[in-house]
Amino acid sequence: MMNEHWKKSTYSGGSGSCVEARVIAQGTAVRDTQHRHLAELSLPSTEWSALLHALRTR
C-alpha cells in the first residue's frame, strides 16, 4: 500500500531539523524537511527495518 503523506519524526521537536518518511511501493522514502525539494532516499523494507533497529538500540 502506498502512502502519499509524509510523516515527520516524533523526535524532531520544534527545532526544524527533522526527517520525514512515507511508505512507497519499494519500501520507505526518507527526506530532510529543510531541503524537501532536493531529493529523497528510498530504502527497501528490510533496510528500513534494519535502520530503525540500529537507531533504537543506540
Q: Measure the N-to-C terminal CA separation of the chain; round to a whole number of Å.
A: 30
Give the pLDDT confidence score for residue 1 in this predicted structure: 46
Give the pLDDT confidence score for residue 19 in this predicted structure: 87
Give the pLDDT confidence score for residue 18 in this predicted structure: 86
Name the residue with cell 529543510. Answer: 34
pTM above 0.85, yes or no: no
* pLDDT tens by residue, 4-55: 789 987 777 776 778 899 999 999 999 988 888 899 999 999 999 999 999 8
More confidently predicted of 56 and 9: 56
Enumerate the domain spans of the chain. Answer: 7-56
Note every long-range contact of 48-51, with CB atoms under 8 Å and residues 24 or more positions apart, other chains counting.
none
